Chain A
Amino acid sequence: MTRRAPGEHPAPFRIVGRPLPRFDVADKVQGTTLYAADWRLPGMLAGRILRAVYPSARIRRISVEKARALPGVAAVLTADDVPQNALHEDPTGLGLSSFATPVLAADRVRYQGEPLALVAAESEVLAQAALEAIEVEYEPLPGVFDAGAALAPDGPRVHPDRENLLIHWKLRQGDVEGAFRRAAAIVERTYRTQRVDHAALEPEAAVAWVDGDGVVTIRAATQVIEHFREIAEILRLPHNKVRVQAPFLGGGFGGKEDMTVEPYAALLAWKTRRPVRMVWTRQESLLARPKRHPFTMSYKTGATEDGRLVAQEISLLADAGPYPLLSPRVVFAALVVGCGPYRVPNVKIDARAVFTNNVPTSAMRGFGAMQVTFAYESQMDLLADQLGISALEIRSRNFLRKGDRLPTGEALETQAALPHITARAVEALGERSRPSAPSGRVGRGIACNMQPYGRTVWFRDRAQAWIGFEADGALVIRAGVTDLGGGQAASLAQLAAEVLGVSPDRIAVHIGDSALTPLAGGTFATRQLYMSGNAVVKAAGELRAMMIPVAASLLEAAEPDVQFADNHAGVIGAPKRTIALARVVKECGRRGIPTALLSGFQGEHAAPIDLETGQGRTFPDYTFGCHAVEVEVDAETGAVRVLKLAACHDVGRAINPQSVEGQIQGGAVMGAGQALMEEVALEAGINLTTLFAGYLIPTAMDVPDVRPLVVESGEGKGPFSARGIGEPPTGPPPAAVAAAIQDAVGVRLTDLPMTPERVFDAVRARPARPEHEARGKV
């Protein structure tokens, strides 16, 4: 499954690169893993949120007396009960603006489902009764429900003190006007992507309590334990009096990156001085938990006669809901990779996010870079059509190479093995399938993408890790990472095992506790392997450097000849000369040499980009990929079935190939779902998709076997030259499927999801032509 790119060196690793079973999977198959909602404490109350019914309204009156008087109700809180009812944000991270988001809405509601009040009661049933006993008098107000309309200067404002434009990022390079005048082919289209829900199988959940030292502790399904600071601010407590623990998550995908239940559970626990469990219902989660941004993307792309890109003029518009959350950063990522993995000398991009009264939008796997993939890859195919060259050919002529300048002016510092990646994906499709019915049409398509990994370099990203030996030679790692299911914890053990020679089954990993594990930054932005992986390798390396001389002295060997492997220190080339690592540990103790240490990895840092031109350093690096897809379209109904999906990514080095392949498979299926069936539909701010039965994510019958193809170019900025893989696989499927549909029935869809009805309508609208034959472009 894993083959090397030309020029790669084989890796001389013992542990890294092996498909080791993950320690957490053994617990998960036995059902012993305790997720956030599984934690039980004596006297635990049930916490619930009262949510706004209207998307835009004034709250005239909110009355909680009746609710408070119900038996078994321990607390009912409104905005007045929140010590600091504001989350202060710097939405861009550049200090350009500040924003205060209410924790509980006080006099104004800005989206359907906005939290208004909290209850804690002895049981879920009693909590529900208390919610129903709270009286709210609303005065519905006009709202802003269309991102385009939000930009109109005289329309309603979501916030009284500011305009609806949240952010406008700009990128300017070269001269697009001149370039278009000289272009041989120009394609202009507008693409739309939809609101998507993360739909992790685990709903948002936390148990909060005040411990014996008065520390408000929240054990939450969260991707970011660092939120303890925000919770402390809300409660007006010192930061060291709030503690966030993150158990293994039942999926995150960015939906648990912002705070969800944490501040509410904390407030109730702090107020009642009793443990409080808050688990959102699935329907509540679908209603109100922030979604992936819907994007409207207008692209004008110009190329020479032989298909070389000369200019991209792009306008991106994202619906940010009423509060900033991570919207500016999502749109920034879209800006940076808006042209895709191609050389383009002249670029003009305007990327905007606007406030509306629709459901909030924030981080989701792919983070802006996912949406633009649909646009830039579709443009490549349309240009190829116009110029009469193949989809493969036009891409080959424009693929970025190491050293090329990106539209932001920075040079690409690592290899972009795109020709190899693309060839692997295409080859994996094999023979073209035959249609399964007379109305079936088979088509194929490809799409390439680039996804940043690591946070924007202005953020001074940092991750710490503590590593130490026990007296018996076992190893302990403490790192504040959170494990979403992608093997974040297990990968740290695999890395430490490689460096220190402790077998993985003798390594204990403690993660996700803001009081006890050194902070590592959250699990998002495909940063965890890059940041914490490097931190662990660094710490392990520093520890090893201290212990090698001691081992050498015990073994009576020269330091360069000493190796740590299989829980022993040994002499290279002399298999009989070994001693247990435990002995080395003991000797270190005797000599006063530490066998544990804390270290940290500092991510790359650079000054922020120029705000007018978008020029400057942005992300540390990128992961490149290509997916090849074969579909069968039922020409009579428009239904699309994915027959084959091959997904290839260059991960630099696969620390655990099995986990890497699993991420690729899962991400590709998530992308396929967004291509064909997922949508959170809103109408005038009212969410129509609040049943899980109505939010369609792929089942096992909706996708074929996904062939994950791993390329290891040996160049990446993560540990042992690895690159991140969490987000990249979600990007290509929509564009690849759109290309395959065009190959099958001759229509190019520009709106996601590509439902049967949309395909059907497009086919009906297609100008009459002879029976369409697959053009065999792939």
Chain B
Amino acid sequence: MKKRWSERIGFLMLYLAGILVLFFLGVILFDIFIKGVGVLSWNFLTQPPRMGMTEGGIFPAIMGTFMVSIITVIFAVPLGMFAAIYLNEYAIPGKITRLIRLAIRNLSGVPSIVYGLFGVVLFVQMFRFGTSVLSAGLTLGLLTLPWTITACEEALKTVPKSYREGALALGATKWHAIRTNVLPYAIPGMMTGVILGLSRAAGETAPILFTGAAFFLPHLPKSLFDQFMALPYHLYILATQHHAIEKVRPIAYGTALVLLGLILLLNLSAIWVRYRYRQKMRG
């Protein structure tokens, strides 16, 4: 049967849509890479900015992002894990469970700037942490919490039911069964989710605008209550707030490349962990 014209045109459009999406991604990655790679050097990665950020490197911003991410993980991962264990292992289907799930889905849709507002009131003002690494890290922790919960729950779901039943049949209590027969097999899957959450947190700007990110800080934060520089915020400043925007454009490109590289690296390592884990489960 000959294909009709409408069918041909239709499928052509679908092809074009696929290609266009690839094209968007290609342009973003290509442009940042080509224009940013020239700035990259050992000094760029290890020096603080100098001469009003027109020269020097981005070392404090890299370290700031690193430190904030660690606080985010320390805060969000245990909480997310516990919540996931409750939802997957203990929760009985009912009103409260439905409500919790609804809340999680809605939390993941709350705009990041609203998390920023929440962080300002709760951590900066009420808890008196001030604008600091701690406040920003906790705010980002709240932001990544719904994703962490979902990822951990997915990981728990992949552990076969028979593992639990085997332990229970031998007389183990529920918690004992979870601890010895479920968690060890779910940890790699959880790791994947944690890394993905981390890559989200590292790239977020809006929540840290008012909770701790500093415009310019030549040294590293000395305590949890110091302000810090962060890669995404640094890029925002270089792109829009700097007094000599054209002059710092190369540095902005370099910063964007480092940020993008960091996030791609995190994503790739998540994929790698998942891949290894699947092979192990198979073997």
Please indicate whether A and B come from the same complex rather than being unrelated chains: no
Interface residues of B, Cβ cutoff 8 Å to A:
none
